[in-house]
Amino acid sequence: PLAIVRGRHRFRLLVHGAARGPVELSVAVNADSLATWFRGVLAEVAGWDDASLRLHVEDQAWSADLLRRGDVLGAVTSDPVAVQGCAVELLGTLRYRPAASPEFAERWRRGRGYDWDRMPIVVFNEKDALQHDLLAARGAGPPPVMHRVPTSHDFHEAVRLGLGWAVIPAPQLDPDLASGRLVLLSSRTHVDVPLHWQRWRLDSPLLERLTAAVRAAATNTLTRH
């Protein structure tokens, strides 16, 4: 498989162990996962002395490409089809719901709803299609104003500050709903993103340990439908 050919050195270390120092574990993960449930993986790996993490932040719809190129040995991805030479398992679903600051919501209120065709939106980057998917489901087109904020923390803060509306993952959104910092724009509309773990199909205790850590962290936060 291409990933193993291009990552031959890492393949050898994973199977046989490193003679000098910890083994580097290169993993692709989307920003929202890294900001929420994947932190459980960081906490677990923090107790290991035989591995170091090298994280590649990539949209879940594109992260499998890093596996195909041999740049990473594991990836959190929305792609359920295993890359050649890899194993795949469903981790669960990350639910996103449309939200905005109370002031923003009041500004764009139209009767009992909101002006979905004109409300400014916030997107993470050019690969972030979640807001557009929700608009399409509501029969609305792209709005005239679209802001790009390419870090998870600042993206969340931009919505809090009223720059625009966006779909926010439940682990980040629920505390803000409880405190009143954000409000839902629709109680019925949401976007569910199934997340999978794809990893090289290798006989490696270290990679098995990483997979177990990813699985456990996902179980604590993601939902299964």
Give the model confidence (pLDDT) of 145-171 as tens digits: 999 999 999 999 999 999 999 999 999
Please tell me the pTM assigned to this model: 0.87
Compute the residue count for the chain.
225
In which band, very low, low, confident or very high, does the pLDDT at 63 lie, cut at 50, 70 and 90? Answer: confident
How do beta strands 121-123 and 23-29 pair? unpaired
Give residue 4's pLDDT. 46
The Cα–Cα gap between 123 and 3 comes to 31
Average pLDDT over residues 215-224: 93
pLDDT per residue as tens digits for the range 40-60: 999 999 999 999 999 999 888
The Cα–Cα gap between 13 and 99 comes to 45
The Cα–Cα gap between 66 and 123 comes to 22
The Cα–Cα gap between 164 and 189 comes to 17
E strand segments, the chain:
23-29, 51-57, 74-77, 86-100, 109-110, 113-114, 121-123, 146-148, 166-169, 183-184, 191-200
Give residue 10's pLDDT. 53
pLDDT per residue as tens digits for the range 82-141: 999 999 999 999 999 999 999 999 999 999 999 999 999 999 998 899 999 999 999 999
